[in-house]
Amino acid sequence: MSKKLSIIIPVYNEEESIPELLEWIFRIIDAEKIDAEILLIDDGSTDGSWQVILNAAKKDRRIIGLKFNRNYGKSAALQTGFDHAEGEIVITMDADLQDSPDEIPELMQMIEVQNLYIVSGWKRKRQDPLNKTIPSKFFNWVTGKVSGIKLHDFNCGLKAYRKEVVKNIHVYGEMHRYIPLIAKWNGFKEIGEKVVEHRARKYGKTKYGMKRFTTGFLDLLSVTFVLRFKKNPMHFFGVLGTLSFLSGFLITLWIIGEKLYRQYNHLPRRDVVDQPLFFLALVALVIGMQLFLTGFLAELLIQEKQKKGDYLIVGNTRNG
């Protein structure tokens, strides 16, 4: 393996698993003679995780620790790792020992040999209870249908990327589970999948509950909308605004035309303001203008340079 590797590991209260994970990773990369750096992103841990990272970084310069001032979430940790990674290939994995570092050489090989931009892990045999596996399968099925990406496990933390992918995408909120979709919309369409080992949790307890499944579909709608219309928001707001405005305008013309016709032919007629249709037309006109202006303002906003990762880092072992 000639290309340098960056391994990004988000950490949140995993002080017990970090030493064992690092020992396992070093055993693999040393045996394969891989030039690697390991970025441990402490996402505001409240246990001794940061001290464990500091001690490890003092012993081996290949370990780089970054610490948040509070818990921002996995997406923030991954984005910060992407920003600081220097490797040509980037691998992400969880810190809880459920992802196996033994997969690292083959993930790298798939990126290099198959010329893929992303290789996503697939935990085909999961060591999780049914209340997690069944919702997860349904979630992955829906995501695959919406995105058009044929992956079995979008949320697997074990993934490999080419450098150009992680340096040209922005992960925020809880969008880490949709990184393949974000990458695809940014032009990185060569995405592969590898069956990986999923191990039972050895220390502590899971940090993710059922809430992620209830919010996951809202996140999917959000990321689909943002990625599709972020460069041309007027295509969405402008079309809706124009349709609404034209509907209101045509209804107004109809009401006025009908009144003039009845007045000219001396037929019974009602005042315009006495007709409910007039108020519906007025609402349609106002909403149409608001939608159009929203699209126009959004077009102006995207002209500005977007900031990436406004997260406060209070510790960094790379610079001593």
CATH number for the domain spanning 61: value is: 3.90.550.10
Domain count, the chain: 2
Same-domain check for residues 191 and 74 = yes
Q: List phi, psi (to 5°) of 207.
A: -95, 0
Asked if the model's pLDDT at residue 119 lies above 80, the reply is yes
Q: Choose between 296 and 87: higher pLDDT.
A: 87
Cα 194 from Cα 232, distance rounded (Å): 35
Give residue 129's Cα distance to chain centre: 25
Asked if the model's pLDDT at residue 130 lies above 60, the reply is no
User: Which secondary-structure segment (H or E) carries 142?
Assistant: helix 130-147
Same-domain check for residues 220 and 240 = no
Same-domain check for residues 147 and 212 = yes
Same-domain check for residues 46 and 194 = yes
Task: Give the predicted TM-score (pTM) of the model.
Answer: 0.71
Same-domain check for residues 68 and 173 = yes
How much of the chain exceeds pLDDT 70, in percent? 80
Same-domain check for residues 204 and 286 = no
pLDDT digits (tens, 9 = 90+) for 208-255: 555 555 666 666 666 667 666 666 777 778 888 889 999 999 998 888
Same-domain check for residues 182 and 169 = yes
Helical packing angle, 104-113 and 18-31, nearest 10°: 50
- pLDDT, average across residues 263-269: 80
86 band by pLDDT with thresholds 50, 70 and 90: very high
Q: Choose between 282 and 131: higher pLDDT.
A: 282
Same-domain check for residues 179 and 240 = no
- Short-list 277, 280, 291, CA closest to 242: 291
Same-domain check for residues 287 and 179 = no
Average pLDDT, the chain: 83
Same-domain check for residues 212 and 263 = no
Instruction: State the residue range of the domain holding 148.
Output: 5-231+308-316
Cα 16 from Cα 134, distance rounded (Å): 29
1 band by pLDDT with thresholds 50, 70 and 90: very low
- pLDDT at residue 174, as a whole number: 76
Same-domain check for residues 66 and 189 = yes
Same-domain check for residues 225 and 275 = no
Whether 85 and 166 have beta carbons less than 8 Å apart is answered as yes
Torsion angle (degrees, nearest 10) of CA 65, 67, 73, 76: -70
68 band by pLDDT with thresholds 50, 70 and 90: very high
- pLDDT, average across residues 105-119: 94
37 band by pLDDT with thresholds 50, 70 and 90: very high
Asked if the model's pLDDT at residue 207 lies above 70, the reply is no
